Each structure stands twice: as structure tokens, then as C-alpha cells.
Amino acid sequence: MRKFNIRKVLDGLTAGSSSSASQQQQQQQQPAAAAPEITETLQSEHFQLCKTVRHGFPYQPSALAFDPVQKILVVGTQTGALRLFGRPGVECHCQHDSGAAVIQLQFLINEGALVSALADDTLHLWNLRQKRPAILHSLKFCRERITFCHLPFQSKWLYVGTERGNIHIVNVESFTLSGYVIMWNKAIELITFLFFRSSKSHPGPVVHISDNPMDEGKLLIGFESGTVALWDLKSKKADYRYTYDEAIHSVAWHHEGKQFICSHSDGTLTIWNVRSPAKPVQTITPHGKQLKDGKKPEPCKPILKVEFKTTRSGEPFIILSGGLSYDTVGRRPCLTVMHGKSTAVLEMDYSIVDFLTLCETPYPNDFQEPYAVVVLLEKDLVLIDLAQNGYPIFENPYPLSIHESPVTCCEYFADCPVDLIPALYSVGARQKRQGYSKKEWPINGGNWGLGAQSYPEIIITGHADGSVKFWDASAITLQVLYKLKTSKVFEKSRNKEDRPNTDIVDEDPYAIQIVSWCPESRMLCIAGVSAHVIIYRFSKQDVITEVIPMLEVRLLYEINDVETPEGEQPPPLSTPVGSSNSQPIPPQSHPSTSSSSSDGLRDNVPCLKVKNSPLKQSPGYQTELVIQLVWVGGEPPQQITSLAVNSSYGLVVFGNCSGIAMVDYLQKAVLLNLGTIELYGSNDPYRREPRSPRKSRQPSGAGLCDITEGTVVPEDRCKSPTSGASPHKSDDEQKVNNFIEKVKTKSRKFSKMVANDIAKMSRKLSLPTDLKPDIDVKDNSFSRSRSSSVTSIDKESREAISALHFCETFTRKADSSPSPCLWVGTTLGTVLVITLNLPPAGEQRMLQPVIVSPSGTMFRMAFLDATGCLMPPAYEPWKEHSVPEEKDEKDKLKKRRPVSVSPSSSQEISENQYTQAKVISLPTQNCAYKQNITETSFVLRGDIVTLGNSVCLACFCANGHIMTFSLPSLRPLLDVYYLPLTNMRIARTFCFTNNGQALYLVSPTEIQRLTYSQETCENLQEMLGELFTPVETPEAPNRGFFKGLFGGGAQSLDREELFGESASGKASRSLAQHIPGPGGIEGVKGAASGVVGELARARLALDERGQKLGDLEERTAAMLSSADSFSKHAHEMMLKYKDKKWYQF
């Protein structure tokens, strides 16, 4: 365990490499011995990487199955994944190693096992009697392709149909093939007097297999061509064959075993009597138009699946998918429920993949009594209540709506305030839809795990439609808490002319790029793809906002990539608002999308139009301020690359490729608006020069960083440009307007002072060398993350703001005490610090402006206090904004200030490049520690996180490695290859959080969570839920006296006698290959944990039996003793009286 003398540590990541000169200057040094000591407690044994859970809708679903006794649902996907669902909170994700599509799933009902059939012609047997299911056996078919499987209830013999039309039989216990095979040519050859048409052509693949509910010895086989055969397993021949002109998609039995129904490719249903194979007894076209003169209805789309379910008290249910008329162009997919004379057509939002009817009994020969239908859609899972009128749907308790709109960004927060989740849930509960079924969710199998985690966790997802969702992620579960629609503040586009004025957005102008959230103060700030920023304040009360506060910022700065040509003199650095040009642009009303400059180019026009009508805001997050970047001289605004909000200071800051802007959201004023080069002033290490403004792009006399402020109250702000004169204003409104004008004037003066001071005071700490990652410069997906931007910097001129962090620290070498400041990191590796001069809290904070001034140079940052603990930025605890304030200003001042630091304390700042991390002492600015993160790749995401009572640096690299380093010494603690960078989605959404947690978007619909904490990995088994619970199998239906007497009940079959090796022999070894399940330690542990319950019950039964045997032995011994005593007494009596005569008695 090593000790280091450090008072405070600032840690971060930069996007560039330091130059050789900078590296020589920042040599490793030890801090002064007088500083307090920090004890590093984290060691390598505290870290271990493993996946925890996967949330969301299974991506690209392909199969569905349900265990009616265990009440467990499983969904298979085209990528070979399995997702098992039990009661809310019980979920499990499994993955086939081959990655082949799952084509069918079959439960061994109430046995805790599952059979999966894959598109690579492999069968797998899964053991579900453990918290992490594992494959026990696999069977690979070598010569035939699997098309359909059927496993009868309480049977160990699996029927497997193939593309050649043959049926093989597999023993699911040993996963071996039986020698019994049903060949297609035997199945269709019938030589009886009922056989009128002979057809020896191939009937096509097997599309259906099922046994007669009343006779297990009769097997119904459906072929794709339209032929159905009823096969007698004992006699090994077909009893009947049923032929129809149209292809078959599915078959279903009536529970009495006398009729079955087929669905066909022309949209028809045919009902057949088992003993009448000549023609169907009924033909139905559910969605066909009935023509006159008894003609056949027009063909419809194929009916892909049909189910036939009976009830004791009424008509049977016929449920089908597909079969719509061809003239219904554009109609959504439908599920049709036919019950008696009524037909209900239920429209779905997505294509139907599969559906299942949930019934009260698992026995196929009893009345089914259906109560619900599970419909697996392409992007959703719907459960329909069949017992209520109108067939309402159940409210889905699973977190399957993550992809309701595509996820564009993620943030993960662990150890949040305890009152935060209840507050979000209370406001989110009001958003729930009405009209759901009143019954409880029927899929309720399994048991919850015994979670050891007690701290609250929240996941925030930003979406393409502008929505933001808050999720409760505590104890490895996920539940939606609250949904915020950011697009509500903008006018909707009704036609092509009203579409957003931007070339950077095509279909999703409201998409969320960055989320900045303060859990303590509940302040939320989002940055959208249309170069807009919205600040939200949390409130539990309704409010009607008459005028949405808005600021428009003109932020565009151009530079020359090469030296300026002869004869063209570069103009002086443009200043922000308050420059020497004439009058500033006055406040606008809501900008029109058709605004343009004198030469026809768009100018001073935002990408989106804010609503000019009153906005009713429900409890939850309510709009505080809307900030939009505007077009400049025909150029659209650059997308925002970094964002930060601080509730204690009342400030929000954002930056892009053009520069940086800081806004006081309390006073609704812009404090700072500078191009990136202006931050350097005369000390620009790249010696870039501003490009001469083109007349076609910018009007003469207008600065490149002008601001148009459409602030809160002016009536002109609410009117369209063509509206008439504004009405008379009250005295109060006039006072407010005067106050706003004063604030604007002061803001412009201070901004001008900032621009002048930058050239004098800006100082460079690092000169990064040229770094060019192998990524296309045009792809800005990486730069949208709050972590280090990995956009290619083929040109030094493309310098974007990549990190922003508010803190209280030393800003200059000569500083004796820390002060509030903003740290700014750029994609070229430079980090600068801007000092904040804040007025006192309370009324003065609203009246006096905030002063900002640059003070030096320094990227993604965090701070450690004297004990080595992570110190958060200052924040204002949440309070209801509309409630009158009762506490004095001193209390407020204490609230917003973090733990104070001694003026004589030293600090250290850590500066990380894509391949290297450094720790630099403050205020001396000497390099204390340095560590190479990677030699061959670069860092995609890096966060300083807490683990236990210590902190560490966690990194995810583009080569798939996850690494952690101690702080401040930067010792490597973990380096594990986890996941290669296969798409931009992973890079954009990967994030670390405290307590060893991390997540990323593994598919467009799923979030994968993982942990790098050894303690969490050890406790994970207890935290996971159980899928299998011991449940008694329901009793079989009573046959009744007369059915038993006359043989009308179900006929059983000894399948072992038919399919066993003694009767049918062995199957050809070349037909299929048996593959044993994984035999590693994890598999052994899983299997052991799966049988613990059985062993415990067996041990208990053995103990009870031993106790009973002991009691029996004692009673037997007592009886033997009594018998022996009785024998002795009888012998004595016999000896006494044997010599006496009868008359002597």
C-alpha cells in the first residue's frame, strides 16, 4: 500500500498528445512533504470484470415460447440470443455461441429445461434450474435442415421435422437420435379406398407436427405444399391424408381430437374432420369479400398462424395473424380474434413475429380456457386480455420501451440522493396511459434475487424524437420513472416550407446529443442536434408559462488553415457583444424561418422555432430557458460538442467547433461568447489567423460573435414579424424591461473586457503533438459524448470544445486560495481555465452580473480532497422554485459552496491524452505522475469514479480493453479485453459510474450493464433472480365413467417401447453429431447451484425416512422383547402344568 503527499487532485482526459517540450517541462515530481498524506487503498484484487444484466427489448426477435405451469416466457432472436421473462424484475439473458438465428423454442413444461432450434440445424438443451442457464447437450444435424419441432407435454421424445419432409425423434434426456424415422414418401402413400388422388411428388418441408390430443399414437404432419397426413406411430403408416390446393402455414387441433384447422397462403382457414379427408367441412376467409352467386372470395394475404382454443361456457376462440385483403394498402399489421359470431381486428404498431395463447391448463385434451394472448412484434411485446370486453392490453411491467425512439445518448448515475427516485416516480405516474386491463400481469414465474446493493441508481437516455427518459436502475433492475418531451417547446413542422432551417438535421431535428444533470439540485440541461440547449428546473407543481424564455447566440468563427495570401490583411480579433460596431442587434420576436441577409443567405435564424403561445407544464421538469445557435451568413451553426451546468453558480456553458458560450440562466443573459482562438489570445500555439469575413457571408460591421437575445418578457418576442403594434404595457412590465436592458448592457461590457483580457492573460500549459486517430473526420459521433472527443484532427484548425467542468481550485501559480472557475478542454489537447466572479447569493445574485475572465491554460476533470475522496462540483440543493424563500442568505451561501480548502494547500491536476495520463501539481504546475494508457489504440471514454472509499480512473479503449488506474499514482489495477469497437453506438453510449458500474447500448433496443468491482461480481449470484421454482403439476382432466368404460378418453402411448434402442435400433451416426454441454468450472458451479434445492429436499426426505426407520426399529425391538417375555411365561406355564391331569386343575 503506497502513500502520497497530495492535498487535492484534478484528473482528466485530453484529446491530444503533449509535445516533447511540454513533456520535458512536466517531469515526474513528488509533492512537498508538508502536505497531508493520501493512502491508496485500491489494489488489483478489488477489480474483476463481468456482465451483470441486459435490459430492453430483444433485438430482432424470431421465436416465442411459454411454460404454462412455471409462468415463464422466452423470446429468441436472429442473433442467437434468448431472453427469459418471469415476474416483473425477473429477467435473464442467454446467448448461443454460434450466433445463429433461433427458429423455434420448446419448454419441457414444469421441468426447468428448454430446447432451442437454430438456423444452423442445431438443437440445444438449456438447464433453467440455475440463475444463469447453461447448455447441457447439443445435437448438430449434418445432412438435413431443421424446419419444425414438437415436444408433447410430459414426454421425453422430441419430434424434429426437416426440409426434406422427414421426421426424426430425439431423446431429450440423452440428446441422442432414435432409430425410428418417418420418411416423407411413407407419410403420403395411402392405398385405401378413401384415396382417390395419387400424388407421389415431394410434399415440401415439414411445417407442422402435433399429436392427437385424444390419442398420443396418432401424429399429424403438415407439409408446406398443402398436404397433411395423420400418422399411426404403432403401425408405422398413414391412416389419412388431407389435401388442399394452397400452401399450409400452420395447423391447430380442437381439444377433442376430432377436428383440426389449417391456415393457408391465400388467406383462408380450412376445418377438417379427422375421419373425412376428402374435403374440409368448412372453409373461412376471415378478411375476404364475400362475392355474389356463391363464388369463391378474392384471395387475401397469407394467414401465418392460427390457434384453436375452446372454453367450457361458450364458443371456441380462433386467433390468427395475417390474412388481410390485398386492397388494404398501408394498413398496419393485425391480430384477428374470432369468438362465436364476433370478429375483432386488433391493429399492431409493428409486424407480428409470433403469438401464443395463454391457457389455464397445460393438457391439450382438456378445455383450454384461454385468458390472454402474447403477441411478439418486431419491436414490442403485447399482452391482450381475452376475458374483458374490447380485449384491452395489459400494462407491460418490463423495460421494453428503451427503443420507443432510437437512443442517441446515455448517462449513468450511481449513489443518487435517496429522495430522487420517489420524486421522479411520483411525477411520472401521472403520465401513465389509461385503458389498460385491470388484471395483474399473468407472466409471474420465478423469484427475485436477494440484492445486496442498497444505493439508488438512475440511467438517463436521450432519444431521437427529443425525449429524455429517467430509469430506476437500482439492484440490477430497470423501471421507467419519468419521460420528458423536449420538443414541446418548439413549433411543429406542418409542411415543407416550415421544416427546420438546418443542413445538419434530416429527420430528427429534436434528437438529444448531450445530457448534463445535477442529481442534488435536479437541474437538467440538454443539447440537441439542431444546435439548441434547453435548461430545465424540477417542480412538483403545475405552471403555465406565458412566454418561453429564449436566447439566440451567434457563434461562428472562421480561421485560415494556411498563411494569409499576399495583399489580404487579416482583421483584428472580433470581440463579443459590445464590440466597436454600431448598435447591437435588437431583441427579436420568434425568428421566422425565411429570414435572410441582404444577399439572400440565411442569417440570424435559429434551426428551430420556439412556440409563441402559452405552454402548460405539468409537474416534473419545466423549461427554464431555451438557447439556440443561429445561422451566420448562410452557414448553419455547428453541433454542440460539450455541455455543463452548475446549479450553485446558476450558469450553463457549451461549446462546439466554433467556440464557447456561457449563459447565466438566472438572469437570462449571455456572459461569454468567444471563438476558440480568442481563448488563446496572442499565445495561440498553432498561430492561426482569422479569415477575412466574406461579404456574401456576413454583413459589414457585424462581429463574428454577436448575440441576439430574445429574453423573457417583451411583447414583441411573442409576436410574429407581421403582427401589428404591441399593446400598452403595464408599469411592472416596463420596470422589468428596464431591468433587462441594464443586465444586457452590463453583460456586453464584461464580455468586451473578457475579450481584451484574453490576449494579455492567456497562458499555455501544454503543447500537444499531432495526433491523428484512424477515424473519418466527417463523423462527429464521438464528439457528441461528454467524454474525450475522438474526432480526427487532420487539420489543426478543427479545434472543438470537448470538455467543460466547473470547480473551485487554483487558477494561477501565484494564487494562495482556490476560487470558482471553469475548466475548458479542447480536441487539440489544450486545457484553459476561466475564473468566475460570483455575486453573493440571494437578491444580489439576481441583480449583479457574474464576471468571467480567463486566467491560464489546462481536459475532463475531477477533484480529490485531502483524504483522496472525490469532491463534486458545488451545487444548490433542490427546493421548490415557486415556494417563498425563508432562509437567510448565509445559509444559501453555505449550501452552494463545497468543502473549503486551506489557502496554503497544494493541489494536483491530472491531464490525460488519448494514450497517456498525467497528474500535475497545482499551483506549481509540475508533473507529479505519468502513465501510458495504450500504445496501439486510443481512449474512447474515461471517467474518474469512486469505488468503496477510494477513487480511480476508468477507461474504455477502442481496441476493446477496459482499464482502471489508481489515483493519484496512476498504477494499473485492471486491464481486460472486453469488447472491440464494432460501431459508433458503443462509443457514443459507453459510460462508467461510481461503485464499479458501467453500461453501453449493445443493440438499438438493449442496454448491457457490467461491473468491474470484485465485490459486485461475488454477490452477483445472490442478486440474480431464480427462473425455476418447484410447482406441482396440475392434475390431468378426469376421463369420466362412461369415457373410461367405452374408451372415449385420451389414449396413452408407451413411447419408450416404440422409440427406444431395443425396438427401433440406433440412428445413423452421420445423421447428427452429439455435442456435450460446457464442462468448465462455471458450468459445474451453475449445475451445482441448480440442483442445490433438489439435494436439500432429498436430504430432508432422507432424514425423515431415517427418523421413521429409527422409530420403527425401536417399536420392533419393543415388540420382540414383549414377544420373548410372553414366550418365556408361556414356557413356564407349560412346564408347570404339563404333568398334571385334566382333573387335577
**CA-to-CA separations, 827 to 86, 747, 771, 1138, in angstroms, rounded:** 47, 28, 10, 122
DSSP conformation letters of 265-328: TTS-EEEEETT--SS-SEEE-TTSPPPGGGPPPPPBS-EEEEEEE--SSSPPEEEEEE--BTT-
Angstrom distance (rounded) from CA 95 to CA 37: 48
Angstrom distance (rounded) from CA 432 to CA 434: 7
- Length reported for the chain: 1145
pLDDT at 31: 40
Q: Which residues of the chain have pLDDT under 70?
A: 1-38, 190-200, 292-294, 451-453, 494-506, 557-600, 682-683, 687-798, 843-872, 881-914, 1039-1051, 1079-1107, 1139-1145
Write down the residue that cell numbers 457549451 correspond to.
654
What cell does 713 get?
A: 418578457
The amino acid sitting at 785 is S
| DSSP secondary structure letter of residue 17 | E
What cell does 926 get?
A: 509540475
The answer to whether the CB of 607 falls within 8 A of the CB of 470 is no
**C-alpha 8, offset from chain centre:** 36
What cell does 455 get?
A: 444505493
Angstrom distance (rounded) from CA 266 to CA 67: 32
The answer to whether the CB of 947 falls within 8 A of the CB of 931 is no
For 768, counting Cβ atoms within 10 Å of its Cβ (0-12 exposed, 13-18 middle, 19+ buried), the class is buried
Please report, for the chain, the start and end positions of each structural domain, with discontinuous segments joined by +: 285-357+364-400
Angstrom distance (rounded) from CA 853 to CA 816: 18
Query: pTM value?
Result: 0.78
pLDDT at 887: 47
For 1065, counting Cβ atoms within 10 Å of its Cβ (0-12 exposed, 13-18 middle, 19+ buried), the class is exposed
**CA-to-CA separations, 762 to 151, 756, 835, in angstroms, rounded:** 76, 11, 12
Angstrom distance (rounded) from CA 1056 to CA 504: 68
149 φ/ψ angles, rounded to the nearest 5 degrees: -130, 150
pLDDT at 984: 86
The answer to whether the CB of 356 falls within 8 A of the CB of 399 is no
Upper half-sphere CA count for residue 406 (Cβ side, 13 Å): 11
1064-1100 confidence digits (pLDDT tens): 778 888 899 999 988 434 444 444 444 544 554 555 5
935-969 confidence digits (pLDDT tens): 888 888 988 999 988 899 999 999 999 999 998 88
Angstrom distance (rounded) from CA 269 to CA 83: 32
Angstrom distance (rounded) from CA 937 to CA 977: 13
Residue ranges of alpha helices (H) inside 694-848 are 731-761, 843-847
The answer to whether the CB of 813 falls within 8 A of the CB of 925 is yes
The answer to whether the CB of 109 falls within 8 A of the CB of 362 is yes
Number of CB atoms found within 10 A of residue 982's CB: 9
